[in-house]
Each structure stands twice: as structure tokens, then as C-alpha cells.
Structure 1
Amino acid sequence: MLSGLDHLVITVTDISRAVDFYSRVLGLDVRYRDRERVDLMLGDMSLRLHWTATDISPRAATPTPGSLDLCVRSVLPLDEVQRHLEALDVEVELGPVTRQGANGDITSLYLRDPDGNLLEICRPLKPAGD
């Protein structure tokens, strides 16, 4: 019945600060919808930023900045991601650590966006023999 995600809404207190973080730090392309909604492209889906004081309806019952826990896959090796984050003075809260992903074991780094949302950046562990 379902085939995947189209977009995921992230409630933020400051759209411009969030756009800066997700575009500069994580390299996502930005598509402005209006002053209260911005799409950050992640493959064929988007992370949609909604401002906390928006009148957009319908919306989640309790849209709360900092309540998201999101894991995204990296195309780059995590040591490169970690060097990039260090160069931008973005703190890695944990990692690299081994975790269980949707399709097997992954190695992950954890950090937070400006609103305190937990972001996990992962790479699949290579199968034995690779």
C-alpha cells in the first residue's frame, strides 16, 4: 500500500538558522515554499521545515522543536563527515559507534541541530570479505 516517505516535517524556532545548518553543515539543497515552510531535499524526499508559530493546518497535535530523532545515510565515509563537522565547529555528541539500521549493521555519528533535534548520520558496515 505504501512505497516510502515523501516529506518529513521538522518544527523549528528559526527557519533561517535551520536552513543554514541543514544546507551548510549537512549539504542539503534548499527549496523555499513560503516564509513559514522550506523544503530541504534529501534524495527523492524532503525534510520540510515548519516554523513553530505557523498557522499551517493540519499539523501534528503537538509540534515541538527538538523532539525529532532522525537517522540519515551518508554517501561519504564517516571519517570525512567527522572532519567536515570538526572544521565547522559542530560537536559530535557520540560516535562513531555501531548500531542496527533498517537493513543491517551501521556505523553512526550523532549530533544535534540548532533546535536540539538528534541527528544520526550513518554508513552501512561492509559485509565480511569486502
Structure 2
Amino acid sequence: MIAGIDHFVLTVRSVEATCDFYQRVLGMRRLDEANRPTALLFGSQKINLHEVGRTFEPKAKMPTPGSGDFCLVAAVPLVEV
């Protein structure tokens, strides 16, 4: 039923500090797009960064720095699950 991982989300205190660390230490690439969360790319994976107090919808009920979630890609339509 699961075809793969679409993306991960990290709730962070500072997008800038988080990007600095992941780019400098782990070699990830930063992606900034209009009306989208800042993302970090590595291989075919993406981590969306949600800064506390400036999160995108949909979001967790109580976003907390250090928390995360992930989005899966279904191999079948959701109504069939």
C-alpha cells in the first residue's frame, strides 16, 4: 500500500540556524520557494522546515521545536485504504 516517503517535517526554533547546520555539516541543499516552507534536500528526499510561530498549514496541533512528522505516498487512492 505504501509507495514511498514524500517528505519529512521538522519543527525548529530557527530556519536559518537549522539550514546552516544541515548545509555546513551534512552537505544538504536549501530550497526556498514562494508560499512554501523552506526545505532541505538530500538525494531524493526532502525535509520541510516549520519555524515555531510561523508554520504552514496543515500543521501539528501543538508544534514544538525538535518534533517532526512525515508524509507517505500511497500506492492506491486513499479512499481504498
Asked whether the two chains share a fold, i.e. TM above 0.5, the reply is yes
Q: Secondary structure at the match of 1:60?
A: coil
Structure 1, gaps ≥5 residues long = 69-130
Root mean square deviation of aligned Cα? 1.9
Q: What is the distance in 2 between the residues matched to 1:53 and 1:36? A: 15
Counterparts in 2 of 1:31 and 1:51: CA distance versus 1, 3 Å: same
What is the aligned partner in structure 2 of residue 27 from structure 1? 27
Kindly state the Cα deviation for residue 49 of structure 1 after the two structures are TM-superposed: 0.7
Aligned identity (percent) is: 37
Q: Secondary structure at the match of 1:4?
A: strand
Is the contact made by 1:13 and 1:52 (CA closer than 8 Å) also made in structure 2?
yes
Alignment partner of 1:46 is 2:46? yes
What is the aligned partner in structure 1 of residue 61 from structure 2? 61
User: Could you say which structure has the larger radius of gyration?
Assistant: 1
Q: What count of residue pairs does the alignment treat as equivalent?
A: 68
Structure 2, gaps ≥5 residues long = 69-81
| 1:1-130 correspondence runs (5 A) | 1-34=1-34, 37-68=37-68
TM-score normalised by L of structure 1:
0.47
